[in-house]
C-alpha cells in the first residue's frame, strides 16, 4: 500500500490541531461551517484511512481469502502494512465507531426531548416563553418551532436595549440551527479523538455568530454589556441538554470580541484550511484505491491458469488414471 494513506491521517490530525485556532480569526459564520463541515470531512477521511490499514488483516485471513478468491501470498508480497499497524488501526476504528454510536444515540435523545418540550408549550403566536423564576437565565431550545426561554429574573436584570439584543442572540441560534453545527463537531470528535478540540471551539464560534447577529439589532457595546451583566448574575436554572444559552463559557473573550472591530473574512487562511482538508481526502483516497488494487492483484494470482482445478486443465491434463500430470499449486 502507498504511504499516502498516512498522509491522509496526518492532514486530518493537522486540521484538528489548528482548526480551533484558525476559527477564532475568521468570521464566526464562516468559522462555524469550517469546523462542522471540515470536521466531518476529516473524521470520515480518518475512518477510511484506518479501514484501509486494517484491511491487511482481512487479506491475510485464510477464511476470507477462500471466500473472496484471492491469493494470500500475492497479497502479502504487495502489502507493506505490518500486522501490528493493522491491529492498532482496527482497534482505533472499533473504538471510534462505538463512541460514534453511543454519542449519536444520546444526541438524538436530547434533540427529541427538545422537540417534545417545544410541543408541550402553548401556542401563543410567539417563540418566547417567560419562566416564573427569579434566577437569571436565557436559552434557546431547537424544535418545531424553536422556543426561547427567559426567566423573569433575567428580564428584570437587563435594560430594554439589552433585552432586545438578548432575544436577537437566541433567535440567531434558532435561525441558523447552531445545534446542528455543534452536533457535527461532536460526532466528528467521536469518530476521531484527534478532533477532540473541535466541539469546544464550535461552541465558542456559534456563540460569537449569535453575538454578531445581536449587534445588528443594537450596538456592540450593548451586547457586551448584556453578556457581562447576565454572566455576573448567572443563576442555576436547569436547562435541557440541547439548550443554547446566552451566557455559555468564555464570556470574557466574547465581551472582548464585541468591544473590538468586527471580524474579517481572511480568505487566504480559509483557503489554506480547505487545502489541508483536500490533501487529507486525496491521501486517503489514494490509499483506499491502492488497497483495492492489491486485492485485485491477489485475485489474479488466485485465478492463475496453472491452477490444478481449472476446468480446461482438468480435461486435458488428466491421464487415464484420472490423476493430474501437473503438480498442484497453492496460492
Could you state, in order of their start, the residue ranges of all structural domains in the chain? Answer: 4-304
User: Which residues neighbour 312 within 8 Å (Cβ) at sequence distance 6 or greater?
Assistant: 305
Q: Are 159 and 183 in contact (CB under 8 A)?
A: no
23 vs 324: CA distance, rounded Å: 70
173 vs 239: CA distance, rounded Å: 15
Structure confidence at residue 273 as a pLDDT band (50, 70, 90):
very high
238 vs 179: CA distance, rounded Å: 18
271 vs 279: CA distance, rounded Å: 12
Residue 219's pLDDT is 87
Structure confidence at residue 322 as a pLDDT band (50, 70, 90):
very low
pLDDT digits (tens, 9 = 90+) for 42-75: 999 999 988 888 877 665 656 655 655 556 665 5
Residue 98's pLDDT is 95
Residue 264's pLDDT is 81
pLDDT greater than 70 at residue 179? yes
Q: What is the mean pLDDT of the chain?
A: 82
- Section 163-187 average pLDDT: 95
Q: Are 215 and 228 in contact (CB under 8 A)?
A: no
pLDDT digits (tens, 9 = 90+) for 68-116: 555 666 555 555 667 788 888 889 999 999 999 999 999 999 999 988 8
Name the grid cell of 21. Answer: 485556532
pLDDT digits (tens, 9 = 90+) for 185-216: 999 999 998 899 999 999 999 999 999 999 99
pLDDT greater than 50 at residue 152? yes
Q: How many CA atoms lie within 13 A of 174 on its CB side?
A: 21
Residue 80's pLDDT is 66
Beta bridge partners of 141: 147
Enter the pTM of the model. 0.81
pLDDT digits (tens, 9 = 90+) for 225-262: 999 988 887 665 678 888 888 877 788 999 999 998 88
238 or 173, which is more confident?
173
24 vs 39: CA distance, rounded Å: 16
Residue 224's pLDDT is 93
Structure confidence at residue 329 as a pLDDT band (50, 70, 90):
very low
Amino acid at each position: 500500500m502507498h504511504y499516502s494513506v498516512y498522509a491522509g491521517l496526518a492532514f486530518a490530525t493537522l486540521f484538528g490541531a489548528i482548526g480551533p485556532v484558525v476559527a477564532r480569526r475568521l468570521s464566526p459564520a464562516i468559522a462555524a461551517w469550517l469546523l462542522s463541515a471540515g470536521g466531518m470531512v476529516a473524521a470520515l477521511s480518518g475512518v477510511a484511512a484506518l479501514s484501509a490499514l486494517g484491511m491487511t488483516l482481512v487479506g491475510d485471513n485464510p477464511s476470507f481469502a477462500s471466500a473472496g478468491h484471492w491469493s494470500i501470498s500475492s497479497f502479502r508480497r504487495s502489502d507493506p502494512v505490518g500486522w501490528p499497524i493493522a491491529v492498532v488501526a482496527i482497534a482505533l476504528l472499533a473504538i471510534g465507531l462505538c463512541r460514534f454510536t453511543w454519542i449519536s444515540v444520546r444526541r438524538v435523545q436530547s434533540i427529541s426531548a427538545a422537540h417534545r418540550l417545544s410541543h408541550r408549550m402553548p401556542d401563543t403566536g410567539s417563540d418566547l416563553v417567560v419562566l416564573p423564576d427569579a434566577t437569571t437565565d436565557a436559552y434557546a431550545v431547537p424544535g418545531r418551532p424553536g422556543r426561547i426561554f427567559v426567566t423573569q429574573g433575567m428580564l428584570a436584570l437587563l435594560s430594554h436595549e439589552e433585552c432586545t439584543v438578548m432575544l436577537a442572540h437566541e433567535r440567531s441560534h434558532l435561525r441558523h440551527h447552531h445545534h446542528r453545527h455543534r452536533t457535527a463537531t461532536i460526532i466528528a470528535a467521536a469518530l476521531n479523538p484527534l478532533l477532540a478540540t473541535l466541539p469546544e471551539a464550535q461552541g465558542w464560534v456559534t456563540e460569537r455568530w449569535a453575538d454578531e447577529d445581536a449587534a445588528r439589532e443594537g450596538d456592540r457595546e450593548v451586547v457586551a454589556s448584556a453578556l457581562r451583566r447576565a454572566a455576573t448574575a448567572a443563576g442555576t436554572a436547569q436547562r435541557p441538554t440541547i439548550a443554547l444559552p446566552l451566557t455559555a463559557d468564555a464570556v470574557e473573550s466574547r465581551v472582548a470580541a464585541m468591544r473590538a472591530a468586527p471580524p474579517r473574512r481572511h480568505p487566504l487562511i480559509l483557503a489554506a484550511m480547505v487545502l489541508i482538508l483536500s490533501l487529507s481526502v486525496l491521501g486517503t483516497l489514494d490509499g483506499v484505491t491502492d488497497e483495492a488494487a492489491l486485492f485485485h492483484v491477489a485475485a489474479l494470482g488466485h485465478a492463475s491458469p496453472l491452477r490444478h482445478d481449472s476446468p480446461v486443465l482438468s480435461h486435458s491434463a488428466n491421464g487415464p488414471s484420472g490423476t493430474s500430470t501437473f503438480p498442484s499449486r497453492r496460492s
